[in-house]
Amino acid sequence: MKNITLRAPEQKIDRARRLARERRTTLNRLFVEWLDQLEGGERRAEQLESLFQRLDDRCSSGGPFTREEMNER
């Protein structure tokens, strides 16, 4: 595991330490969990983009539509 140094406002660090104590974990563990969430978010975004592309390839609305056509009932 690699060590890094971070800088943040003291108030934010104090709140993060408090949160870590409440969760019975460490500030380092919270940081690693945050990194995992970032990575997971990227993967989800890539999966969604892939899904939208596949849907776009298979589905067509038949448009473009005029305003009147879109508001028809």
1 found inside a domain: no
Please, how many CA atoms are within 13 Å of residue 49, restricted to the half-sphere of its CB? Answer: 6
Residue 38 has pLDDT above 90, yes or no: no
Question: Domain range spanning residue 27?
Answer: 10-58
Contacting residues for 15 by C-beta, under 8 A, at least 6 apart: none
pLDDT of residue 25: 96
With cut-offs at 50, 70 and 90, classify the pLDDT of residue 22: very high
54 found inside a domain: yes
67 found inside a domain: no
Q: Are 3 and 13 in contact (CB under 8 A)?
A: no
Residues composing the chain: 73
64 found inside a domain: no
CA 63, 65, 71, 73 torsion-angle sign: negative
29 found inside a domain: yes
Instruction: Dump strand ranges (E) for 1-73.
Output: none
This prediction has a pTM of 0.55
* Total domain count, the chain: 1
